[in-house]
Amino acid sequence: MQKLEVFGISKLRGQIKISGSKNASLPILAATLLSSKKIYLKNLPKVKDIETMISLLKSLGSKIKLRKKNLIINNSKQSKNFASYNLVKTMRAGILVLGPLLAKFGNAKVSLPGGCAIGSRPVDIHLKALSKLGVKYKIIQGYVHANAPKGLIGSKIRFSKISVGATENLIIAASFAKGITILKNCAIEPEIKDLVNFLIKSGCKIKWITKRSIKIEGVSQINQITYPIMFDRIEAGTYLIAAAITEGNLKIKNIIPKVIQTEINILRKIGAKVFTKKNEIKIIGNKKIKSINIKTAPYPGFPTDLQAQIMVLLCKANKKSSIKENIFENRFMHVAELNRMGAQISINGNEAIVEGNINFASAELMATDLRASVSLILAALTTKGKSIINRIYHLDRGYENIEKKLKMVGANIRRIN
């Protein structure tokens, strides 16, 4: 099993080009199932979750050619509607094929999803919303057996809570439903906006009617298009925090700064100097880091996917800070490993109290999920000596060439078997 060795202390300097977004690519890949024509996708990240989704699409009958970071998908002969547990177990986004398969065939059998063990992530919000489009379903031995006897029929649907996955699934499904669908209380993450833009350019009739409401008029087919995937805002945020924690000086390129304005504002409050241009950010870390209280929230709030990373930075702050995790109920698993490195973090329900003025010590560490694994790298970059991070397969699910990118800006890091 592969591990990472990280040797501190590193002050990161140089520039990093941000990859395409994993979280935008996955629903767009699922949405290509609607098409019977060729779809060309550009700027796909080379990460494990994308490989898994491509394998899932191939198992459903998609013909796919991958050329560097560009993908050609041909679904003209795609005819299968069974998504097996073996392909869905490592990735919660696997459930996103349910909507397009129901829209296309009227029935589907899809395994309940897996992914990081950071919360229950129930799919009941997906299923209840789909049932309002005319879907009947049962869950048998870990599989969703779903069918729409009369096809999908447009409806007015209000999500019981804001859910990124359910919003994506319903947008895709409703694009082929008969009549008009109104979705209310939608998630509005940039990755959802990217999915909507992809579908509109494909010929779907979708319109935002309020901040969190969408009107979708169903169509019967979508067009052949070429579409570039947006940048990965979580990867960008991770490297911004890496610069702040190492007193670094980094240029983050291939991004749109306004998409991550919340993160930029928080880093400025903490004490980092952040300068923005059209497609790049320059950040200079400050030796003095100010404490702050943060709560995770749906976009445009602070993202749960950066909670572990910002926690590492707050361990270096001048005073006590707090982080409230409002998205997932089990997303503090990195705390035990950070405390082993010298952090003083206590948990009270969904709130973490982070003592400041910490100097991390090198250690052998165990990654528990995707974002927790990268938080351990950030902490290790500030230590004297060698840290070893185990179970980095989590890391490879969502970060493209992370050790190579960090090496290029001065980190002493290597992958070992």
Sheet with 321-324, edge to edge strand ranges = 293-295, 321-324, 351-354, 345-348
Joined together, the tokens standing for residue 136 give 């009947």
- The answer on pLDDT for 118 being more than 90 is no
Joined together, the tokens standing for residue 352 give 């973490």
Where residue 178 falls among pLDDT bands split at 50, 70, 90? very high
- The answer on pLDDT for 233 being more than 80 is yes
What is the DSSP track for 238-268? HHHHHHHHTT-EEEEES--GGGGHHHHHHHH
Are 3-18+232-416 and 22-228 the same fold in CATH?
yes
Joined together, the tokens standing for residue 101 give 């398969």
Where residue 114 falls among pLDDT bands split at 50, 70, 90? low
Q: What is the pLDDT of residues 23-72, one digit of tens each?
A: 999 999 999 999 999 999 999 999 999 999 999 999 999 999 988 779 99
Where residue 116 falls among pLDDT bands split at 50, 70, 90? very low
Lowest mean per-residue pLDDT among 120-129, 264-273, 281-290: 120-129
pTM of the model: 0.95
Lowest mean per-residue pLDDT among 121-125, 163-167, 199-203, 345-349: 121-125
Q: Measured between alpha carbons, how far is 19 from 46 in angstroms, rounded to an integer?
A: 8
Angle at which helices 22-31 and 98-105 pack, to 10 degrees?
A: 10
Q: Is 116 a catalytic residue?
A: yes
Joined together, the tokens standing for residue 192 give 């959802």
Written out in words, the top-level CATH class of the domain with range 3-18+232-416 is alpha beta
Q: Domains of the chain: which residue ranges? A: 3-18+232-416, 22-228
Where residue 370 falls among pLDDT bands split at 50, 70, 90? confident
- The answer on pLDDT for 117 being more than 80 is no
Between 294 and 370, where is the model more confident?
294
Secondary structure element (H or E) that encloses residue 8, with its range: strand 3-8
Where residue 10 falls among pLDDT bands split at 50, 70, 90? confident
CA distances from 332 to 10, 113, 255, 376, 397 (A): 26, 21, 28, 13, 19
Which pLDDT does position 57 carry in this prediction?
97
For the segment 230-256, the average pLDDT, to the nearest whole number, is 97
Other CB atoms within 10 A of residue 223 CB: 12
- The answer on pLDDT for 119 being more than 80 is no
CATH H-level superfamily of 22-228:
Enolpyruvate transferase domain (3.65.10.10)
From the number of C-beta atoms within 10 Å of its C-beta (0-12, 13-18, 19+), residue 176 rates as buried
Q: What is the pLDDT of residues 303-338, one digit of tens each?
A: 999 999 999 999 999 999 999 999 977 789 899 999
Q: What is the DSSP letter of 174?
A: H
